[in-house]
Chain A
Amino acid sequence: MKALYDFSILTQSIHMWLSDRYTPAAVTIIEMVLVGVAFMILFAILGLVLVYAERKVSAVIQQRMGPTRVGKWGTAQTLADVIKLVLKEPIINKEADKFLFNLAPFIIMIAAFMAIAALPFAKGLQALDFDIGILYVIAVSSLGVIGILLAGWSSNNKYSLIGAMRSGAQIISYELSVALSLLTIVVLTGSLQLSTIIESQADGWWIFKGHIPAWIAFLIFLIASTAETNRGPFDLAEAESELTAGFHTEYSGLKFAFFFLAEFANMFIVCAIGATVFLGGWMPFHIGHWEGFNAVMDFIPPIIWFLVKVSFMIFLMMWFRWTFPRLRIDQLLTLEWKYLLPINLFNILLMALVALMGWHF
């Protein structure tokens, strides 16, 4: 049934084909290059699609048209913007620490790259399948804050510094909630490996199987992951009405584009993790014993399932951003330390009880 779309057959055949022709060392290098190129292409596509999607979603919410001029329905608008950003002069502040200033965007991008490598896009379509998958993704995606702090510090701009400090406090706090809400589901799966977590949802997604604790965990994950990606209503690090542009005030051209792209890539990553852990990853939607219905659902390729779930979560995050006002820094920290964290800890206990008593499906 699942073998209908198993990407491991494809990857295995490529591996075999390469092994026949080259030495094992060369095969490893070639495969690494192939995977790297594939992820770079994915990044570029993500940037183009998500920026366009954000523009159109915000346009619908704000009762306007969004981009319409460049390309059919404005689809080439993002491409035009990329060309503009690439051609722009990279201005570096005279007093800036040039090495750190240039390094910062790359650190953010590297963190995003490392995290995206562990995502399971479909069965067998996963670059790194660690047995500590979730832990790895959480650890790596929080490396990005170093880039933000460096950007704020090296710009030699007071607004940038305030933005970076805010961002540091925010990401360090909200990481806890992201990790704990994911651990709530790990209690049920008993494994940190992302592929195992998905396999465990073959007979139903955790958000349905896990009762109320799973719902609470999902909501907390949604809030905390929005905060971790520095998106509205938690976009304090770049609060444009207070800090002009926060940590990337001094950046222009391609380096600014890196920050911009990393924001969307991070959004994709957290949504993908959420979809994997709570919504069954690439598993199709099944209802009990409706064999016919389930067969039709199986016919839709898993990669489509995965992308649909991720798009749904991304849409939720865009919806927040374009309707809510921004929180203040102390309110943001209050929300995390006084509400989300205690609820989260209690929720894990509750989930442990559910798992222990076997109340989940």
Chain B
Amino acid sequence: MEEIIHQELESQEYFINMGPQHPSTHGVLRLVLSLDGEIIRKVEPHIGFIHRSIEKMCEHDSYQQIVHLTDRMDYLSCHINNEAVCLAVEMGLQLEVPDRVKVIRTIIGELTRLSSHQLWWGVMGMDLGAITSFLYGFRDREMITDIFEETCGARLTMNYNVPGGLMFDIHPNFQRRTKEFITHFKKKLPEYDALLTNNVIFRERTVGIGILSKEDAISYGVTGPAARASGFSCDVREHHPYSYYPKVQFKEVLRTEGDCFARYQCRIDEMWESLSIIEQLIDNIPEGPYKAPTKAVIKLPKGEFYQRVETARGEFGVYIISEGQKNPYRLKFRSPGFSNLSALDHMARGSKIADLVAIMSTLDLVIPDIDR
């Protein structure tokens, strides 16, 4: 009898549609939650609201044009996405790009990572109810977007990379302004700790919440800071270095707890690492051309090319199959957001609605990156 009652109660789940329009899904992601009171029994992500079939579009575009489409996926690490396509094409052409290009790409890549993490930090605070952090994050991000604007005219979707190098040389002010930013941000990063990291309520909300073990992180294909917080060493910059990363000193941020706070702390520490990488390079930009000479129509030789890079969210891969034409026969992107989202159900089961928001923030999802 008791069993029947129990079953009856179990089956009465409270369904909630979180999204497609919801303040904390950060885009058009729809989560169907099965609730037991406030406790989450199941999370079912429904994606595809902004699917633009970018991969199919790429089959009809030249390699220079493909670069522009990658901006529209993970718009917060656009430069790094661009770089992945450029590196894949350069690999196919067996083109050696000048050192100047490599250094500038690395610096701007790290600036992109910083600006992405700043935005994430602000949004993370806002999801947990500390609205002030949002404004703090954007205040410092503004300086980076200003640098980008001066360098290439765009603030968000930059398209600064082209196969073979950069679209044009850096602005004369670039080094000075970047150094100004570093001195400014080194003073401001401890403020982030004062406002959120060391706050008792913030710790209560994040420590021990949404634990992802190392094994689960690997089996779900989670990458980036979310996986490194679980102790999975997966930094592409470290394991498969590209651009100028082999020649700079940095350490891969690893933590073992795998909870929301570890993921948070991982990104904060990555900001310090990014600052140190930029500091090493900013005074040592070698002279030389900003672009290796390429033909106007790039035709990759017949074959398959795969290039992976580390975006702010994790491992981003470009897989090109070429038939020797001016556009790829087939192209596939491996986006970090998609795999990271797949672990959400596993992490959120048994926690409260408020925890789901914290877990989603620490996964740092960008929806266009998932939907492509």
Contact = CB atoms under 8 A, between A and B. Distances in A.
A316 to B, nearest CB: 16
B130 A328 contact: no
A264 interface: no
Interface of B: 14, 16, 22-24, 38, 125-132, 135-136, 139, 195-196, 199, 201-202, 204-205, 352-355, 357
Given A158-B14, A242-B357, A244-B22, A325 B129 contact: yes
A46 interface: no
B14 A241 contact: no
A244 B23 contact: yes
10 contacts: A58-B132, A61-B132, A233-B201, A241-B129, A324-B129, A324-B199, A325-B201, A328-B204, A331-B204, A331-B205
B267 to A, nearest CB: 17
A63 B354 CA distance: 28
Interface in A306-358: 322-331
A325 B205 contact: yes
A326 B129 contact: yes
Nearest to A321: B131
Contacts of A144: none
A206 interface: no
A162 interface: yes
Interface of A: 58, 61-64, 158-159, 162, 232-233, 235-236, 239-244, 322-331
Nearest to A328: B354
B128 A325 contact: yes
Given A241-B129, A324-B199, A325-B129, A159 B16 contact: yes
Given A158-B14, A323-B195, A325-B202, A235 B135 contact: no
A162 B38 contact: yes
Given A62-B136, A63-B135, A323-B195, A235 B129 contact: yes
Nearest to A324: B201
Contacts of A322: 131-132
A331 B207 CA distance: 13
* B interface majority secondary structure: helix
Nearest to B24: A241
Determine which residue in A62, A243, A325 has the highest number of CB atoms from chain B within 10 A of its CB, and name it: A325
A240 B23 CA distance: 7
Contacts of B132: 58, 61-62, 322-323
Nearest to B354: A328
Contacts of A158: 14, 16
B125 to A, nearest CB: 7
B189 to A, nearest CB: 16
Contacts of B196: 325
A330 to B, nearest CB: 7
A325 B24 CA distance: 15
Nearest to A234: B129
Contacts of A58: 131-132
Nearest to B17: A158
Contacts of A62: 131-132, 135-136
B129 A233 contact: yes
A125 B14 CA distance: 51
Contacts of A159: 16
Given A62-B136, A326-B128, A242 B201 contact: no
Given A241-B126, A326-B205, 18 more contacts: A58-B131, A62-B132, A62-B136, A63-B135, A158-B16, A162-B353, A236-B354, A241-B128, A242-B353, A322-B131, A323-B132, A323-B195, A325-B125, A325-B199, A326-B128, A327-B201, A328-B354, A329-B354
Given A162-B38, A239-B354, A232 B136 contact: no
B129 A64 contact: no
A58 B130 CA distance: 12
Nearest to B194: A323
A64 B129 CA distance: 19
Contacts of B205: 325-328, 331
Contacts of A235: 129
Nearest to A326: B129
B195 to A, nearest CB: 7
B265 to A, nearest CB: 16
What are the 8 tightest A-B residue pairs by CB atom distance, in nearest-first order? A326-B129, A325-B128, A62-B135, A325-B130, A241-B24, A328-B354, A241-B127, A325-B129
Nearest to B209: A328
Determine which residue in B139, B201, B202 has the highest number of CB atoms from chain A within 10 A of its CB, and name it: B201
A64 B134 CA distance: 12
Contacts of B204: 327-328, 331
Nearest to B126: A241
